[in-house]
A and B are shown apart, each in its own frame.
Chain A
């Protein structure tokens, strides 16, 4: 039997990040990946001959320079498009609102008062997000823990607030769990921007902008986003290949097409894994970078776990709410406001529109007017044939448990989104060469994520920090000796940022030391 120090299950960005770091510290690391390519939900696939389209995730907003350097990603070929990714807010019966570079002000053509309100709001949100950031880039503090690390983080956060003054502290404590809708309303920002922020706050989470706590989605975006939103050269597949190459360079061994059947636990300790092929591979440490529900439910099994934690894991709300529509287009469509570069299109005209689209999803129904974001590939993008383009669309509020069934739902949703796109880019439907609809059940099946949730489990306050994924497994440690977990289902959550992989690797190194 072959043996490694650590076996990493799943070559998503978090798994590869952890493997890279562990290998750099001299560990013998094996990464086992079910599919043939690295990246998990953050890769690209060939939708039609010559079209490589982002499967699920379509931008690399959260990956910061520190991580890129720590993993040697630049050396492995990770490059970003030089131009910032503009956001074009599509508005019915009006000209679009264009944000040339993420949220960065100023916004062309906006009145001074609106401009100021926008900047003021961003200022306070960024300040508040920065406080939370202290706790995002490391293992979440455990309740009753009195470690040096926690004290240091707490102190840093406290100092930050102290420096900002009384009113900022009070404002933080008031706003931190507010509905996004109330925040934007109080700030009196332009209603188009209010729509955009409501959408950004709630995308991928089963809340509406009027739900209390929905502002957290925005904090998370701000806290994990460093500088400008970025698009990798060569698409997501190229970025994930860079993760893979960097991991190989660090010394980790990767095996693709090797799904794991189970994690072997003996006497309360992990001893290795058994692959679907029946091969047993030994390791004293296993890091599972897949969905925690899949890890505990399928790979470990409840028979070696206590009932309380099994109960907790089963209460994780795993049902996804986002459908991915991928369109291969023979011609690059024109959208007012979009230039030649890659462009983010958002349809979320107002807070009410976002909230209204959320309502039916609570009952397993599709919204009449779904809100969505889409990435339109740059003119000349090498991942599509010359003159062609792709549109990668994430549609919000499309529930896993669709009452009328996804068979009809896929068709209906594609139709309703295409109708909307036609409004802004007449003729786009005719340009479609190939299309696919990945509803949450499809994501579940293709990526082995129970529920097909972006975050592997609802990203809401009751499942954050020391409750993510559940109390008792929140510090990347499972309640089984030698078993660790990372991935979107763990702190701090989803988004292509590698943070949980980094944190988990540190925990493993700390534990073996």
Chain B
């Protein structure tokens, strides 16, 4: 029998580690158990071919909350973020749309495609920023239960209403529209050029099982824009050394404060006695005891796999089953022996050091989504492609490069059947072919590649159906509905069992907020001082 801990965190993903760090720093004795022999969950850098590090799951850093970075001293623990430069959409006619960091260069490039659009971007940026300013304060707060009459819920509801009440009538009307519109309709109200709409629509669909024409995708945009609101310089960037650098810094911070991490330790069950958790039992039979268990796994994995069904109310289990995961994306990670060329780009263009795309119309994206709905990967997929080694040479030997391709759409199952290796290879080939269309000789540069469909994401990282956000970001699964109405405050029907992954409010993106918010709730229940968790930055 192992010595008991105060808290066991299941899963060493970024949210699990953030949660563990805060709890350990409140004086609790915390054990993190991780099934893999490496830590990081979906925020990892792995050397899959000699000398080349892969950010093989998540690939950019934008939303990680600066408050958490500061509280957990991540800079001291080695985290370096490098802002990335620009981006591009390659058009089928040989031209391209660039996105530049400089405001005027950006405007002129937009105006090159449509004079009006160059100037329309200002109003668009203002309107989106207004929405971000409205929503951002909600990220670092526990969502209130609107059906509860507890003073704290009423207080938080009041906060929500107050935020809403600060808006003018016009802003309220616009906010309702923004939250419910499709990104395609939203962009139509600002822009003329198809390629500009295609470029901006990307943020509305990344990671979601919806198309750019689906209502509700304008809101998803915010999940990718929020990083930049509070003057967060360099909010969008690469972590030096790959995404694993984030979880490495977190684990270093955690260990420095006295925490314990156990890898190669797959939890088979969360132990429950009389409606209370008592710890976990591992696959190898080891038991670890604790009166508090926090699961970084998604809501389905936690309650349908790690907890015995009889321990949970039937209605709750039904709602967990109904929670929509719906993996929609895959990942193709490629090691290259040299930097690929994109002849469409002018020599020296910074776009190669940013995110690149080949989908130049909203219609192509939407058709890709139709393929997904029909149960297969997109024949003409949407790629979010970057080459982090262009600004972070630490990830590969000199001259060689790591390329990350996030691919949408890619279903969890192929027409209701499991993925086969042949399917996976064909999917990978679709992606490679698309790149090669714009980059002559591309295929010859490939040293190694890894194709990850939702099957691999689920098997390796444990994301049910390979959903990168641990659950869809649709209205029915946001705020007080995330993951389950009545259980949106990180607690579960089992006393002492909490969840802290992206299945909880405010959801996915490597943000760290769910882990932090959950820690605050746990410290509240355990009557711990939580003053080391700084409140969200004020937005003036």
Question: Would A and B touch once assembled, by the CB under 8 A criterion?
Answer: yes
Chain A residues packing against B (C-beta within 8 Å): 142-145, 166-167, 169-171, 173-179, 182, 186, 207, 210-214, 315, 317, 355-356, 359, 362-363, 460-463, 465-467, 471, 474
B210 located at the interface, meaning its Cβ lies under 8 Å from any Cβ of chain A in the complex:
yes
Stretch at the interface among B37-45, B175-183, B454-462: B175-183
B215 located at the interface, meaning its Cβ lies under 8 Å from any Cβ of chain A in the complex:
yes
Q: List 26 A-B contacts (CB under 8 A).
A: A143-B173, A144-B172, A166-B148, A170-B145, A170-B146, A173-B481, A173-B485, A177-B180, A177-B474, A178-B476, A186-B322, A210-B214, A211-B215, A213-B215, A213-B216, A213-B475, A355-B373, A359-B373, A362-B363, A460-B181, A461-B215, A462-B215, A466-B173, A467-B177, A471-B173, A471-B174
Partner of A315, one of B188, B481, B485: B188
- B160-194 toward A: CB 8 Å interface, digit per residue (1/0)? 00000001111011101100110001001100000
10 tightest A-B CB contacts, nearest first: A170-B485, A143-B172, A461-B180, A462-B177, A471-B173, A166-B147, A212-B216, A177-B475, A143-B169, A144-B169
**A175 touching B214 in the complex, CB below 8 Å, given contacts A144-B172, A315-B188, A317-B185:** no
Chain A contacts for B188, CB-based, 8 A = 315
Partner of A467, one of B168, B176, B215, B216: B176
A-contacting residues, B349-366, CB 8 Å: 363, 366
- With A144-B169, A212-B216, A363-B367 known, 14 other A-B pairs at CB within 8 A are A171-B485, A173-B480, A177-B215, A177-B474, A177-B475, A178-B476, A210-B373, A212-B214, A460-B180, A461-B181, A462-B181, A463-B177, A465-B176, A471-B169
CB distance from B532 to the nearest CB of A (A): 33
- B458-500 toward A: CB 8 Å interface, digit per residue (1/0)? 0000000000000000111000110001100000000000000
How far apart are the CA atoms of A281 and B184 in the complex, in Å? 43
Interface residues on B, range: 35 or more
How far apart are the CA atoms of A207 and B481 in the complex, in Å? 23
Contact A177 B174 (CB under 8 A): no
How far apart are the CA atoms of A474 and B213 in the complex, in Å? 25
How far apart are the CA atoms of A144 and B173 in the complex, in Å? 10
B216, closest chain A residue (CB): A212
Chain B contacts for A144, CB-based, 8 A = 168-169, 172
CB distance from A135 to the nearest CB of B (A): 13
Partner of A169, one of B146, B170, B370: B146
B452 located at the interface, meaning its Cβ lies under 8 Å from any Cβ of chain A in the complex:
no
Chain A contacts for B174, CB-based, 8 A = 471
How far apart are the CA atoms of A315 and B188 in the complex, in Å? 8
How far apart are the CA atoms of A175 and B476 in the complex, in Å? 6
Chain B contacts for A167, CB-based, 8 A = 147, 486
CB distance from B385 to the nearest CB of A (A): 25
CB distance from A465 to the nearest CB of B (A): 8
B240 located at the interface, meaning its Cβ lies under 8 Å from any Cβ of chain A in the complex:
no
How far apart are the CA atoms of A471 and B148 in the complex, in Å? 33
How far apart are the CA atoms of A356 and B371 in the complex, in Å? 11
B324 located at the interface, meaning its Cβ lies under 8 Å from any Cβ of chain A in the complex:
yes
Chain B contacts for A317, CB-based, 8 A = 185
Residue of A166, A170, A460 ringed by the most chain B CB atoms within 10 A: A170
How far apart are the CA atoms of A96 and B213 in the complex, in Å? 33
A168, closest chain B residue (CB): B147
Partner of B215, one of A212, A356, A465: A212
How far apart are the CA atoms of A174 and B174 in the complex, in Å? 21
How far apart are the CA atoms of A178 and B214 in the complex, in Å? 12
CB distance from A369 to the nearest CB of B (A): 14
**A363 touching B176 in the complex, CB below 8 Å, given contacts A166-B147, A213-B216:** no
Contact A174 B485 (CB under 8 A): yes
**A166 touching B486 in the complex, CB below 8 Å, given contacts A177-B216, A186-B322, A471-B170:** yes
Chain A contacts for B148, CB-based, 8 A = 166
How far apart are the CA atoms of A186 and B177 in the complex, in Å? 27
Chain A contacts for B481, CB-based, 8 A = 170, 173-174
- B39-82 toward A: CB 8 Å interface, digit per residue (1/0)? 00000000000000000000000000000000000000000000
- B305-345 toward A: CB 8 Å interface, digit per residue (1/0)? 00000000000000000101000000000000000000000
Chain A contacts for B180, CB-based, 8 A = 177, 213, 460-462
Partner of A170, one of B147, B189, B367: B147
Chain B contacts for A214, CB-based, 8 A = 215
Contact A182 B476 (CB under 8 A): yes
Contact B146 A173 (CB under 8 A): yes
A460, closest chain B residue (CB): B215
Contact A174 B476 (CB under 8 A): yes
**A207 touching B173 in the complex, CB below 8 Å, given contacts A212-B210, A315-B189, A363-B367:** no
Residue of B188, B210, B324, B476 ringed by the most chain A CB atoms within 10 A: B476
How far apart are the CA atoms of A200 and B326 in the complex, in Å? 25
CB distance from B172 to the nearest CB of A (A): 4
A314, closest chain B residue (CB): B189
Contact B215 A170 (CB under 8 A): no
How far apart are the CA atoms of A176 and B214 in the complex, in Å? 16
